[in-house]
Structure 1
Protein backbone atom coordinates (compact mmCIF):
# COMPACT_ATOMS: atom_id res chain seq x y z
CA UNK A 1 0.00 0.00 0.00
CA UNK A 2 1.19 3.44 -0.85
CA UNK A 3 2.00 5.65 2.12
CA UNK A 4 1.74 8.94 0.27
CA UNK A 5 2.95 10.75 -2.87
CA UNK A 6 6.28 9.74 -4.33
CA UNK A 7 8.95 12.14 -3.03
CA UNK A 8 10.66 14.48 -5.50
CA UNK A 9 14.26 13.71 -6.36
CA UNK A 10 15.51 16.65 -4.32
CA UNK A 11 13.59 15.44 -1.24
CA UNK A 12 14.74 11.84 -1.69
CA UNK A 13 18.40 12.87 -2.02
CA UNK A 14 18.13 15.13 1.02
CA UNK A 15 16.59 12.31 3.07
CA UNK A 16 19.31 9.91 1.94
CA UNK A 17 22.08 12.38 2.80
CA UNK A 18 20.47 13.02 6.16
CA UNK A 19 20.48 9.28 6.88
CA UNK A 20 24.14 9.05 5.85
CA UNK A 21 25.37 11.57 8.42
CA UNK A 22 27.80 9.72 10.63
CA UNK A 23 29.38 11.08 13.75
CA UNK A 24 32.99 12.22 13.51
CA UNK A 25 33.85 9.72 16.24
CA UNK A 26 34.05 6.27 14.56
CA UNK A 27 33.83 4.50 17.90
CA UNK A 28 30.51 6.22 18.56
CA UNK A 29 29.36 5.40 15.01
CA UNK A 30 30.12 1.70 15.48
CA UNK A 31 28.26 1.72 18.78
CA UNK A 32 25.23 3.34 17.11
CA UNK A 33 25.25 0.80 14.26
CA UNK A 34 25.56 -2.08 16.71
CA UNK A 35 22.65 -0.77 18.77
CA UNK A 36 20.49 -0.28 15.68
CA UNK A 37 21.18 -3.81 14.38
CA UNK A 38 20.54 -5.25 17.85
CA UNK A 39 17.13 -3.53 17.93
CA UNK A 40 16.29 -4.75 14.43
CA UNK A 41 17.24 -8.33 15.33
CA UNK A 42 15.13 -8.15 18.48
CA UNK A 43 12.12 -6.94 16.47
CA UNK A 44 12.57 -9.74 13.93
CA UNK A 45 12.98 -12.34 16.69
CA UNK A 46 9.76 -11.23 18.41
CA UNK A 47 7.87 -11.15 15.10
CA UNK A 48 9.17 -14.62 14.19
CA UNK A 49 8.11 -16.01 17.57
CA UNK A 50 4.62 -14.57 16.95
CA UNK A 51 4.52 -16.34 13.58
CA UNK A 52 4.60 -13.31 11.29
CA UNK A 53 5.46 -14.43 7.77
CA UNK A 54 7.77 -11.52 6.85
CA UNK A 55 10.14 -12.26 9.74
CA UNK A 56 10.54 -15.99 9.13
CA UNK A 57 13.54 -17.55 7.46
CA UNK A 58 12.95 -18.95 3.97
CA UNK A 59 12.60 -22.54 5.27
CA UNK A 60 9.52 -21.54 7.34
CA UNK A 61 7.73 -19.36 4.77
CA UNK A 62 4.72 -20.22 2.69
CA UNK A 63 1.26 -21.69 3.05
CA UNK A 64 2.45 -25.31 2.79
CA UNK A 65 4.93 -24.94 5.66
CA UNK A 66 2.30 -23.11 7.72
CA UNK A 67 -0.15 -25.95 7.11
CA UNK A 68 2.48 -28.55 8.09
CA UNK A 69 3.37 -26.57 11.24
CA UNK A 70 -0.27 -26.44 12.29
CA UNK A 71 -0.72 -30.14 11.52
CA UNK A 72 2.31 -31.11 13.62
CA UNK A 73 1.42 -28.74 16.46
CA UNK A 74 -2.17 -29.98 16.69
CA UNK A 75 -1.21 -33.17 18.51
CA UNK A 76 1.39 -34.56 20.87
CA UNK A 77 4.25 -36.58 19.32
CA UNK A 78 6.44 -39.25 20.84
CA UNK A 79 9.50 -37.56 19.34
CA UNK A 80 9.06 -34.63 21.73
CA UNK A 81 10.36 -36.90 24.49
CA UNK A 82 13.46 -37.84 22.51
CA UNK A 83 15.77 -35.19 23.96
CA UNK A 84 14.72 -35.49 27.63
CA UNK A 85 14.83 -39.30 27.55
CA UNK A 86 18.18 -39.26 25.73
CA UNK A 87 19.60 -37.05 28.50
CA UNK A 88 18.16 -39.36 31.18
CA UNK A 89 19.61 -42.41 29.41
CA UNK A 90 22.99 -40.70 29.21
CA UNK A 91 23.01 -39.95 32.94
CA UNK A 92 21.59 -43.33 33.99
CA UNK A 93 24.06 -45.24 31.81
CA UNK A 94 26.82 -43.99 34.11
CA UNK A 95 25.33 -45.93 37.05
CA UNK A 96 27.40 -49.13 37.53
CA UNK A 97 24.35 -51.26 38.48
CA UNK A 98 23.50 -53.96 35.85
CA UNK A 99 19.76 -53.76 36.60
CA UNK A 100 19.78 -50.02 35.97
CA UNK A 101 21.74 -50.62 32.76
CA UNK A 102 19.10 -53.12 31.53
CA UNK A 103 16.33 -50.67 32.36
CA UNK A 104 18.17 -47.88 30.53
CA UNK A 105 18.68 -50.00 27.40
CA UNK A 106 15.02 -51.05 27.44
CA UNK A 107 13.95 -47.42 27.88
CA UNK A 108 16.22 -46.40 24.98
CA UNK A 109 14.83 -49.15 22.75
CA UNK A 110 11.20 -48.30 23.54
CA UNK A 111 11.83 -44.61 22.98
CA UNK A 112 13.49 -45.24 19.62
CA UNK A 113 10.73 -47.60 18.46
CA UNK A 114 8.00 -45.22 19.60
CA UNK A 115 9.66 -42.29 17.86
CA UNK A 116 10.20 -44.19 14.61
CA UNK A 117 6.62 -45.50 14.47
CA UNK A 118 5.17 -42.08 15.32
CA UNK A 119 7.35 -40.37 12.69
CA UNK A 120 6.31 -42.89 10.02
CA UNK A 121 2.61 -42.31 10.69
CA UNK A 122 3.15 -38.55 10.83
CA UNK A 123 5.04 -38.63 7.51
CA UNK A 124 2.14 -40.42 5.81
CA UNK A 125 -0.37 -38.00 7.34
CA UNK A 126 1.61 -34.94 6.19
CA UNK A 127 2.02 -36.39 2.70
CA UNK A 128 -1.71 -37.13 2.42
CA UNK A 129 -2.67 -33.64 3.63
CA UNK A 130 -0.31 -31.68 1.39
CA UNK A 131 -1.09 -33.80 -1.68
CA UNK A 132 -4.79 -33.20 -1.06
CA UNK A 133 -4.49 -29.43 -0.55
CA UNK A 134 -1.52 -28.30 -2.68
CA UNK A 135 -0.93 -29.34 -6.28
CA UNK A 136 2.34 -27.58 -7.09
CA UNK A 137 5.32 -29.94 -6.51
CA UNK A 138 7.65 -26.96 -5.96
CA UNK A 139 5.51 -25.78 -3.04
CA UNK A 140 5.50 -29.23 -1.43
CA UNK A 141 9.24 -29.81 -1.64
CA UNK A 142 10.75 -30.54 1.79
CA UNK A 143 7.45 -30.25 3.65
CA UNK A 144 7.46 -33.81 5.00
CA UNK A 145 11.02 -33.53 6.34
CA UNK A 146 10.16 -30.11 7.78
CA UNK A 147 7.20 -31.59 9.66
CA UNK A 148 9.15 -34.59 10.93
CA UNK A 149 11.97 -32.41 12.27
CA UNK A 150 9.46 -30.09 13.94
CA UNK A 151 7.81 -33.09 15.63
CA UNK A 152 11.17 -34.06 17.18
CA UNK A 153 11.52 -30.71 18.96
CA UNK A 154 10.12 -29.97 22.38
CA UNK A 155 6.96 -27.94 21.91
CA UNK A 156 8.21 -25.01 24.02
CA UNK A 157 11.40 -24.77 21.92
CA UNK A 158 9.71 -24.68 18.51
CA UNK A 159 10.24 -21.58 16.43
CA UNK A 160 7.96 -20.21 15.10
CA UNK A 161 5.90 -20.82 18.22
CA UNK A 162 2.91 -23.16 17.87
CA UNK A 163 -0.37 -21.33 17.30
CA UNK A 164 -2.55 -24.45 17.41
CA UNK A 165 -3.21 -26.06 20.77
CA UNK A 166 -2.76 -29.80 21.32
CA UNK A 167 -6.05 -31.43 20.44
CA UNK A 168 -7.07 -28.34 18.49
CA UNK A 169 -7.99 -28.52 14.87
CA UNK A 170 -5.21 -27.54 12.46
CA UNK A 171 -6.09 -24.23 10.83
CA UNK A 172 -6.68 -24.49 7.12
CA UNK A 173 -4.65 -22.23 4.87
CA UNK A 174 -4.69 -22.00 1.14
Structure 2
Protein backbone atom coordinates (compact mmCIF):
# COMPACT_ATOMS: atom_id res chain seq x y z
CA UNK A 1 0.00 0.00 0.00
CA UNK A 2 2.73 2.41 0.98
CA UNK A 3 5.56 0.72 -0.94
CA UNK A 4 7.30 2.20 -3.90
CA UNK A 5 6.97 0.95 -7.41
CA UNK A 6 9.86 -1.18 -8.58
CA UNK A 7 10.21 0.80 -11.79
CA UNK A 8 10.35 4.13 -9.97
CA UNK A 9 13.14 5.87 -11.84
CA UNK A 10 12.97 8.95 -9.63
CA UNK A 11 14.14 7.18 -6.49
CA UNK A 12 17.23 8.79 -4.89
CA UNK A 13 19.27 5.63 -5.34
CA UNK A 14 18.87 5.79 -9.12
CA UNK A 15 19.49 9.51 -9.56
CA UNK A 16 23.08 10.42 -10.35
CA UNK A 17 24.40 13.71 -8.96
CA UNK A 18 24.00 16.43 -11.57
CA UNK A 19 27.04 18.38 -10.45
CA UNK A 20 29.36 15.62 -11.64
CA UNK A 21 28.20 15.98 -15.24
CA UNK A 22 30.58 17.74 -17.62
CA UNK A 23 29.66 21.41 -17.87
CA UNK A 24 30.56 24.36 -20.03
CA UNK A 25 31.86 27.66 -18.68
CA UNK A 26 28.31 29.05 -18.52
CA UNK A 27 27.11 26.11 -16.41
CA UNK A 28 25.19 24.08 -19.05
CA UNK A 29 25.68 20.35 -19.33
CA UNK A 30 27.51 19.15 -22.43
CA UNK A 31 26.57 15.50 -22.17
CA UNK A 32 24.98 12.82 -20.05
CA UNK A 33 25.98 12.43 -16.43
CA UNK A 34 28.61 9.69 -16.17
CA UNK A 35 27.75 6.66 -14.06
CA UNK A 36 29.14 6.40 -10.57
CA UNK A 37 31.12 3.28 -11.44
CA UNK A 38 32.79 5.13 -14.33
CA UNK A 39 33.68 8.06 -12.08
CA UNK A 40 35.13 5.77 -9.41
CA UNK A 41 37.12 3.85 -11.99
CA UNK A 42 38.59 7.08 -13.37
CA UNK A 43 39.78 8.09 -9.89
CA UNK A 44 41.41 4.78 -9.03
CA UNK A 45 45.19 4.66 -8.90
CA UNK A 46 47.29 1.53 -8.44
CA UNK A 47 48.85 1.08 -5.00
CA UNK A 48 52.11 0.05 -6.62
CA UNK A 49 52.99 2.03 -9.77
CA UNK A 50 53.33 -0.08 -12.88
CA UNK A 51 56.30 1.91 -14.14
CA UNK A 52 58.58 2.27 -11.12
CA UNK A 53 61.27 4.12 -13.01
CA UNK A 54 58.83 6.81 -14.14
CA UNK A 55 57.33 7.05 -10.65
CA UNK A 56 60.80 7.44 -9.12
CA UNK A 57 61.69 10.14 -11.62
CA UNK A 58 58.41 11.99 -10.95
CA UNK A 59 59.06 11.81 -7.20
CA UNK A 60 62.58 13.16 -7.71
CA UNK A 61 61.22 16.04 -9.80
CA UNK A 62 58.67 16.87 -7.07
CA UNK A 63 61.45 16.95 -4.46
CA UNK A 64 63.61 19.20 -6.64
CA UNK A 65 60.70 21.59 -7.23
CA UNK A 66 59.93 21.72 -3.48
CA UNK A 67 63.61 22.43 -2.69
CA UNK A 68 63.72 25.17 -5.34
CA UNK A 69 60.56 26.75 -3.95
CA UNK A 70 62.03 26.66 -0.43
CA UNK A 71 65.33 28.15 -1.63
CA UNK A 72 63.57 31.00 -3.44
CA UNK A 73 61.30 31.57 -0.43
CA UNK A 74 64.33 31.76 1.88
CA UNK A 75 65.86 34.38 -0.40
CA UNK A 76 62.72 36.46 -1.01
CA UNK A 77 60.77 35.88 2.22
CA UNK A 78 57.73 34.45 0.38
CA UNK A 79 55.78 32.84 3.22
CA UNK A 80 53.78 30.48 1.00
CA UNK A 81 56.77 28.15 0.62
CA UNK A 82 58.67 28.79 3.86
CA UNK A 83 59.04 26.04 6.42
CA UNK A 84 56.24 26.02 9.05
CA UNK A 85 58.64 27.20 11.78
CA UNK A 86 59.22 30.45 9.82
CA UNK A 87 55.63 31.22 8.82
CA UNK A 88 53.45 33.86 10.42
CA UNK A 89 53.23 37.63 10.67
CA UNK A 90 54.78 37.74 14.13
CA UNK A 91 57.77 35.64 13.09
CA UNK A 92 58.29 37.85 10.05
CA UNK A 93 58.23 40.90 12.34
CA UNK A 94 60.66 39.23 14.76
CA UNK A 95 63.06 38.44 11.90
CA UNK A 96 62.91 42.04 10.67
CA UNK A 97 63.39 43.33 14.23
CA UNK A 98 66.55 41.25 14.72
CA UNK A 99 67.89 41.91 11.21
CA UNK A 100 67.51 45.69 11.59
CA UNK A 101 69.79 45.78 14.67
CA UNK A 102 73.53 45.59 15.20
CA UNK A 103 74.01 42.71 17.64
CA UNK A 104 77.17 41.60 19.42
CA UNK A 105 75.69 38.11 19.72
CA UNK A 106 76.03 37.34 16.01
CA UNK A 107 79.84 37.60 16.33
CA UNK A 108 79.95 35.31 19.36
CA UNK A 109 81.21 32.29 17.42
CA UNK A 110 84.14 34.29 16.02
CA UNK A 111 85.01 35.58 19.49
CA UNK A 112 84.89 32.07 20.97
CA UNK A 113 87.09 30.82 18.12
CA UNK A 114 89.61 33.59 18.88
CA UNK A 115 89.60 32.64 22.58
CA UNK A 116 90.17 29.01 21.62
CA UNK A 117 93.22 29.94 19.56
CA UNK A 118 94.57 32.06 22.41
CA UNK A 119 94.09 29.27 24.95
CA UNK A 120 95.89 26.79 22.68
CA UNK A 121 98.70 29.25 22.01
CA UNK A 122 99.32 30.03 25.69
CA UNK A 123 98.42 26.64 27.14
CA UNK A 124 101.63 26.60 29.23
CA UNK A 125 101.06 30.03 30.78
CA UNK A 126 98.50 29.70 33.58
CA UNK A 127 98.21 33.47 34.07
CA UNK A 128 97.19 34.04 30.46
CA UNK A 129 94.83 31.06 30.63
CA UNK A 130 93.03 32.61 33.60
CA UNK A 131 92.62 35.94 31.79
CA UNK A 132 91.36 34.20 28.64
CA UNK A 133 88.80 32.17 30.58
CA UNK A 134 87.67 35.22 32.54
CA UNK A 135 87.24 37.23 29.32
CA UNK A 136 85.30 34.35 27.76
CA UNK A 137 82.85 34.30 30.67
CA UNK A 138 82.44 38.08 30.34
CA UNK A 139 81.63 37.66 26.63
CA UNK A 140 79.04 34.95 27.39
CA UNK A 141 77.47 37.16 30.08
CA UNK A 142 77.27 40.10 27.64
CA UNK A 143 75.61 37.89 25.01
CA UNK A 144 73.02 36.62 27.50
CA UNK A 145 72.25 40.16 28.72
CA UNK A 146 71.95 41.45 25.16
CA UNK A 147 69.57 38.66 24.16
CA UNK A 148 67.40 39.17 27.26
CA UNK A 149 67.13 42.93 26.64
CA UNK A 150 66.47 42.40 22.90
CA UNK A 151 63.69 39.87 23.48
CA UNK A 152 62.08 42.13 26.10
CA UNK A 153 62.04 45.00 23.60
CA UNK A 154 60.69 42.65 20.93
CA UNK A 155 57.88 41.50 23.21
CA UNK A 156 56.83 45.09 23.89
CA UNK A 157 56.77 45.87 20.17
CA UNK A 158 54.82 42.70 19.36
CA UNK A 159 52.23 43.32 22.08
CA UNK A 160 51.82 46.91 20.88
CA UNK A 161 51.42 45.82 17.24
CA UNK A 162 49.57 42.49 17.47
CA UNK A 163 48.05 42.57 20.98
CA UNK A 164 49.93 39.45 22.12
CA UNK A 165 53.06 37.41 21.45
CA UNK A 166 53.07 33.86 20.12
CA UNK A 167 54.62 31.14 22.23
CA UNK A 168 58.28 30.38 21.55
CA UNK A 169 58.91 33.63 19.70
CA UNK A 170 61.53 34.91 22.15
CA UNK A 171 63.66 31.80 21.64
CA UNK A 172 63.12 32.08 17.87
CA UNK A 173 64.42 35.67 17.92
CA UNK A 174 67.32 34.82 20.25
CA UNK A 175 68.52 31.97 18.03
CA UNK A 176 68.36 34.23 14.98
CA UNK A 177 70.27 36.93 16.85
CA UNK A 178 73.14 34.52 17.56
CA UNK A 179 73.52 33.62 13.87
CA UNK A 180 75.87 35.57 11.62
CA UNK A 181 73.77 37.82 9.40
CA UNK A 182 74.90 36.32 6.08
CA UNK A 183 74.11 32.80 7.30
CA UNK A 184 70.56 33.50 8.48
CA UNK A 185 67.66 31.70 6.84
CA UNK A 186 65.31 33.11 5.67
CA UNK A 187 67.64 35.79 4.34
CA UNK A 188 67.33 39.25 5.96
CA UNK A 189 64.83 41.43 4.08
CA UNK A 190 65.70 44.72 5.82
CA UNK A 191 68.92 46.69 6.21
CA UNK A 192 70.55 47.44 9.52
CA UNK A 193 69.01 50.47 11.15
CA UNK A 194 65.86 50.27 9.02
CA UNK A 195 62.50 51.29 10.49
CA UNK A 196 60.28 48.19 10.42
CA UNK A 197 57.09 49.82 11.81
Could you state the TM-score of these two structures normalised by the residue count of structure 1?
0.75
Give SS of 1:53's match.
Answer: coil
Which residue in 2 is equivalent to 1:111?
Answer: 139
Q: Does 1:68 align with 2:94?
A: yes
Q: Which moved more, 1:152-161 or 1:80-89?
A: 80-89
CA distance 1:28–1:59, shift in 2 (3 Å): closer
Mapping of residues 45-56 of structure 1, within 5 Å? 45-56=71-82
8 Å CA contact 2:75–2:186 kept in 1: the answer is: yes
Which residue in 1 is equivalent to 2:154?
Answer: 126
Give the gaps of 5 or more residues in structure 2.
1-24
Following superposition, the deviation at residue 37 of structure 1 comes to 1.4
Following superposition, the deviation at residue 124 of structure 1 comes to 1.2
Figure out how many residues of one structure are paired with residues of the other and give that number.
160
Tell me which of 153, 165, 176 is aligned to 1:150. 176
Shift >6 Å, 4+ stretches:
none
CA displacement 1:75-132 (0-9 Å, x = unmatched)? 1111101212222323332232425423421331221121012112102101111111
8 Å CA contact 2:73–2:186 kept in 1: the answer is: no
Tell me which of 37, 47, 56 is aligned to 2:63. 37
Mapping of residues 151-166 of structure 1, within 5 Å? 151-166=177-192
Which protein shows a greater Rg?
A: 2
Following superposition, the deviation at residue 53 of structure 1 comes to 0.6
Give SS of 2:185's match.
Answer: coil
8 Å CA contact 2:101–2:192 kept in 1: the answer is: yes
Could you state the TM-score of these two structures normalised by the residue count of structure 2?
0.67
Larger RCO, structure (CA 8 Å, separation 6 or more): 1
Following superposition, the deviation at residue 143 of structure 1 comes to 1.7
8 Å CA contact 1:134–1:140 kept in 2: the answer is: no
CA distance 1:110–1:51, shift in 2 (3 Å): same
What root-mean-square deviation, in Å, do the aligned CA atoms of Structure 1 and Structure 2 show? 3.1
CA displacement 1:53-90 (0-9 Å, x = unmatched)? 11112221111111111111111111101212222323
